[in-house]
Structure 1
Amino acid sequence: MLNIVLFGPPGAGKGTQSQKLIAHYNLVHLSTGDLLRAQIAQGTELGLTAKKLMDEGLLVPDEVVIGMIDYALQAHKQTASGFIFDGFPRTVPQAERLDQLMAQHDSGINCMIALEVPEEELVARLLERGKTSGRPDDQDETKIRRRVTVYNTETAQVAGYYAAQKKFHALNGIGPIDSIFGQICAIIDQHKSPVPETPTAATRQVQA
């Protein structure tokens, strides 16, 4: 199974590349925001827990998010060739917990790819996008720069975690879409059959 963590600051083209990767490798897109909204809409126990916390202005804890990811993995395990994680994990504890979860599914994260684009280019792209997207956070330069700063801070931590596993790759996000896509595929194809850093459930049974 092919599992990819794709990171990129707002405006880096991550959404475009995600859709191409999903089609090319038959992956399921796992966005924590989408998962939260879906669980809330379905009225599941996890969704109700998340909604209660969000209504109180509290952050949804990692264990609830991991539970939602686990639910999605179970739902698509028989039909998907793998998963692309969008915007998660954002912290080292989340990355560690994700590794543990993937091990329970006898799988692991193949690689993390981060699209890198200079801040000024990101600001220009998002302000241009804001003319048609209707999103307030695409129309305010101060908010845009704050989002980029938050992303850079989060990615720096998680990048180090995956770099220690030799799974982190930074890629220039400026250039023709198809050219960037080809470079991403070349990286992914190097990691198609990794040995997960954390032991799989089957391995633990043998070791026991």
Structure 2
Amino acid sequence: MTKNLILLGLPGAGKGTQADFIVKDYPNVHISTGDIFRANLTDNTELGQKARTYMDAGNLVPDEVTNAMVAERLSQADVKTAGFMLDGYPRNEAQAEFLDSYLKENGSSVSATLYFEVSDSLLRERLLGRGREDDTPEVIDNRLVVNKAANLPLVDYYQKAGVLHTINGGRELTEVYRDVKKVLDTL
């Protein structure tokens, strides 16, 4: 049976790095919502055109458009064969509920949600270390506050669903991945 994974964690928690490790050892298709958006915008799809109207106005793309893009990607053959690993989705409880409903309709479910927990001080250090122009201490602090407000309800949601696995993401990459493998090998 395919394993369907969700990666949760604040910016700098190491989701992308761990995703890179996971795809080397497991067949899961890594799906980043950023990649989905870029593909739809580049290909000028109907959903991409809808998203662009919101983005050009400086507004968030509504859940219904984001959900439709994710559902379209999850319907593709590679995902049905190998399972998925979602990074950056769901971003709120309404999206999580949509995902659960979509998967149930298609005879599937979320196998595990990996929540990478890292202290705020280490997150700040990692984000400042990236050297990106927009990563100022003030911007980073705001990004952490905004993302905590979005992430914590999802942590509760998946904990109640019985699929949450909290992983200490503040250690060496190989130690973190060892814990990820322990979870994935029990699914």
CA contact (8 A) 2:112 2:164 kept: yes
Unaligned runs of 5+ in 2: none
Deviations 1:172-195 (A, max 9, x none): 1122212211101211233x2xxx
Which residue identity lines up with residue 114 of structure 2 in the other structure? I
Equivalent runs, 1:58-97 vs 2, <5 Å? 58-77=59-78, 80-97=81-98
Matched, 1:188 2:187: no
Q: Secondary structure at the match of 1:137?
A: coil
TM-score under structure 1 normalisation? Answer: 0.84
Matched, 1:178 2:179: no
Partner of 2:149: 153
Residue from 134, 139, 143 that aligns with 1:137 = 134
Matched, 1:162 2:158: yes
Equivalent runs, 1:35-74 vs 2, <5 Å? 35-74=36-75
Q: Which has the larger radius of gyration?
A: 1
Q: Distance in 1 between matches of 2:93 and 2:9?
A: 17
Q: Distance in 2 between matches of 1:107 and 1:163?
A: 18
TM-score under structure 2 normalisation? Answer: 0.93
Instruction: Give 1:97 deviation, angstroms.
Output: 0.4
How many residues align structurally? 186
CA contact (8 A) 2:6 2:113 kept: yes
Instruction: Give 1:115 deviation, angstroms.
Output: 0.8
Q: Distance in 1 between matches of 2:134 and 2:107?
A: 39
Percent identity at matched positions?
Answer: 37
Unaligned runs of 5+ in 1: 193-208
